[in-house]
Structure 1
Amino acid sequence: MDDKKDDSLLNSIIRHQSYLYRLSSGEVIALLKQFNSESSSMLSKLRDLLDELSDSERVALSGARYTTANLKEIKRILDDWQSFVVTALPESFAVSAVALAVYESQYQAKTLGKKIKESNGESILKQAKRKPFAGGMLIDHMFSDMAESTRRRVEYAIRDGISIGQTNQQIIQHIKGTSKLNYEDGILNQSRQSIDMMVRTARSHVSNTAYEETYKALGVKKLKVSATLDSRTCKFCASEDGNVYDIDDPNRPRFPVHPRNRTVYVPYVENEDEKFAGKRPFVRSAGDAGQVSADTNYKKWFEEQSEDYQREWLGNKRYELYKNGGYTIDKFVDPERKLYTLKELKALDEKTFVDLGL
């Protein structure tokens, strides 16, 4: 693989990530349509039943006692809604994830100019399910955890609403939200945001699993971290950008390492005398974008940014440590890949903080 091929590969993968984001948006919309439909049906049934409750039944419901036929029906409605979320949504996700895995595997092989036998999307998804991502999330649990949390908040809203004298309409509105605010002020909107985040991150996890399985099948030995050159990139991914790992290194980062993580591995051919040729894109702010040399990592790119950009990304005190205290951006991240707090940094480096008056 020569420099020109490396550059073509890097740029192709960066462009491909933008395409995958748009593709994920379509899958998010499809899943949210199912979620919204089932949730609307659940709320309609709840509203009707709440209107039928006697005063004694409302008291019992506020104490989570499902003792009458009406109260047992309310519990059943919530059970059915929760069951739908933990069965129908994962099934829909799995169908699209299998198709994604096949597509990604074939895409990477084609990009590398090689052929592989037809990919087994179900096998790749199975591999992805075995591995935690984004700080411990598991594909098989992501919808069940969200459904349990949402169901609990809905029950709390009903009990609390009854205890403080809210009308049934006010209780339902608290759960659903108001049309004036596009329903973003309701309990269910938190679930919609969770679905958006989880689906995008899980699809990235599936994509990265497909990449690694394909790279291994094609005999790739080393991987290079490729983060995104913009202000949304986290400190850990920025510090990792450009690092090279053996593909079998058990201690290398497993992306995605956090929700909505855009960092990926690209194949790397070791040649200490050569650098990647060509360009890679960056975005400083809306309408301010460009390209830099493909061998430029985030740390090097960051050094060339304005003080305003650096201060905004680091924060004022971390900027002083970076600019005047000899800190590189990787020093702000702990061995567990989390951002050090200023208190933790001061405990580690009291003298520098004193010298800088921080």
Structure 2
Amino acid sequence: MATVNEQMQSASIGHAVDLQHLSNAEVRKIIRLLNSADAELRTKLLEAIDRLGPNSYTARRLNTVLASVYELNKSVYASIGEVMVESVVDIGQYEIGYQGALFTKVVPDQVLVQVSLNTVNLAQVREIALARPFQGRLLKEWMGDLEASRAAKIRDGIRIGMVEGQTTDQIVRGIMGTKAQGYADGIVERGRRDVETMVRTAISHTAQGAREAYYKANDDIVAEVRWLSTLDNKTSAPCRLRDRMIYTNDSQHAPVGHKVPWLSGPGKLYFNCRSTSMPIIASYEALRLSKGLPEGTRASMDGQVPKSTNYGDWIKGQSAERQDEVLGPTRGKLLRGGGLELDAFYNDRGKFLTLEQLRERDAKAFSKAGL
């Protein structure tokens, strides 16, 4: 039978995968909101550039004719900001609820009778989500910066087009992108990528902050904290270095048995950080429980740090249903029956290969898996 800490580790890895799926869904929702104004933005750009005219172009006049464009841009980012506030607070509350349910499920009832679990209130969750900066800025500050950055890119795109003598249509295509390229070749595409990065980082920042708050609220039973990195071709060097390292469960997060600093922590170390953490539950001896525990319960509460398990090992040990949920049914079959390891699904830049690319790279694996 798995010990409490072994169960905590497996659950924490699986939960990190689920949070990535949630993050993907939030990104799609926010990008749809950003894109919803594209048609109106295109119309306003055409009108503004026609009003500007090649013979009356000045920086002051450009800002004047772009007033409606700036207003639309501001409105879109204000809407995104409102949705993001709601989303990160909800995610923080969800994370607190998840940790409470996990502790209740994993820690034996005989222990919870003597050691009560504390929770984190809504005010604390809102403070974590909205009043703590990530990558140097608060959420509302990031929204303001992203709005201003896209407005500046639009303005500069028009300036360059006017100087180069481009037509109105050429300037607008340069800003919005072309249908043939899926609009990914326009100046505003950078704004979409920036928004995606902000959304993913805000979510991981909030979820990790909520985890840390829950661990600290229960520091009588959470002895230490272990860093867990998602090890695949996309994992950064700082997270590979810290994977499975132990830190104290306090505001200092001092290294335990090593010298590698915690810095901002997992999920917050850099933009798009996917690392997470798990609690190391104290042993039954350390808890000094007044009532004796059954032998099986004492064995499960040994307080030992579980054997290292990376993401690739974890996914191979999951059910077929869970593998298909995480990887998709075709990749799940390739993992189980095609002889492929997790790393085979990524290219050398850490990007997920398409099924066509996978088949081209290793057709034998498809045949072996019956695909």
* TM-score, length-scaled by structure 1: 0.70
| Residue of structure 1 equivalent to 2:66 | 75
> Shift in Å at residue 191 of structure 1?
0.8
SS of the aligned residue for 2:311 comes to strand
1:51 and 2:43 are equivalent in the alignment:
no
The CA deviation string for residues 195-217 of structure 1, in whole angstroms up to 9 with x for no partner, is 11110111000001111111122
Question: Retained in 1: the 8 A contact 2:91–2:207?
Answer: yes
| Residue of structure 1 equivalent to 2:289 | none
| Residue of structure 2 equivalent to 1:66 | 61
SS of the aligned residue for 1:242 comes to coil
Identity %: 25
Structure-2 change in CA distance of 1:52 and 1:132 (3 Å): closer
The CA deviation string for residues 298-323 of structure 1, in whole angstroms up to 9 with x for no partner, is xxxxxxx9xxxxxx79xxxxxxxxxx
SS of the aligned residue for 1:267 comes to strand
Structure-2 change in CA distance of 1:16 and 1:141 (3 Å): same
Question: Retained in 2: the 8 A contact 1:100–1:207?
Answer: yes
> Shift in Å at residue 94 of structure 1?
0.8
> Shift in Å at residue 52 of structure 1?
4.0
The whole-number CA distance in structure 2 between the counterparts of 1:126 and 1:47 is 43
Which structure 2 residues correspond to residues 1-358 of structure 1 after superposition, within 5 A? 4-57=3-56, 59-60=57-58, 64-66=59-61, 72=64, 74-113=65-104, 119-121=120-122, 123-133=124-134, 135-219=135-219, 220-250=222-252, 252-253=262-263, 254-255=265-266, 256-269=268-281, 275-277=304-306, 280-283=309-312, 290=316
The whole-number CA distance in structure 2 between the counterparts of 1:3 and 1:137 is 41
Letter in structure 2 aligned against 1:30: K
Question: Retained in 2: the 8 A contact 1:150–1:188?
Answer: yes
> Shift in Å at residue 242 of structure 1?
1.7
The CA deviation string for residues 152-182 of structure 1, in whole angstroms up to 9 with x for no partner, is 1110111111111101001000011111111
The whole-number CA distance in structure 2 between the counterparts of 1:221 and 1:88 is 42
The whole-number CA distance in structure 1 between the counterparts of 2:146 and 2:3 is 46
The whole-number CA distance in structure 1 between the counterparts of 2:124 and 2:242 is 29
Structure 1 spans left out of the alignment, 5+ residues: 293-304, 306-311, 314-358
Q: Which has the bigger relative contact order, CA under 8 A and spacing at least 6?
A: 2
Structure-2 change in CA distance of 1:53 and 1:274 (3 Å): closer
Aligned residues: 283
The CA deviation string for residues 256-277 of structure 1, in whole angstroms up to 9 with x for no partner, is 2111111112111356987445
> Shift in Å at residue 250 of structure 1?
2.4
| Residue of structure 2 equivalent to 1:322 | none
Question: Retained in 2: the 8 A contact 1:39–1:81?
Answer: no
> Shift in Å at residue 291 of structure 1?
5.8
The whole-number CA distance in structure 1 between the counterparts of 2:83 and 2:70 is 20
SS of the aligned residue for 1:140 comes to helix
The whole-number CA distance in structure 2 between the counterparts of 1:116 and 1:289 is 30
The whole-number CA distance in structure 2 between the counterparts of 1:150 and 1:157 is 10
Structure-2 change in CA distance of 1:163 and 1:111 (3 Å): same
SS of the aligned residue for 2:312 comes to strand
The whole-number CA distance in structure 1 between the counterparts of 2:119 and 2:234 is 36
SS of the aligned residue for 2:29 comes to helix
SS of the aligned residue for 1:201 comes to helix
The whole-number CA distance in structure 2 between the counterparts of 1:117 and 1:250 is 21
Greater shift after overlay, 100-109 or 36-45?
36-45
The whole-number CA distance in structure 1 between the counterparts of 2:305 and 2:207 is 24
The whole-number CA distance in structure 1 between the counterparts of 2:80 and 2:185 is 23
> Shift in Å at residue 192 of structure 1?
0.7
The whole-number CA distance in structure 1 between the counterparts of 2:233 and 2:27 is 24
The whole-number CA distance in structure 2 between the counterparts of 1:198 and 1:238 is 23
Question: Retained in 1: the 8 A contact 2:201–2:272?
Answer: yes
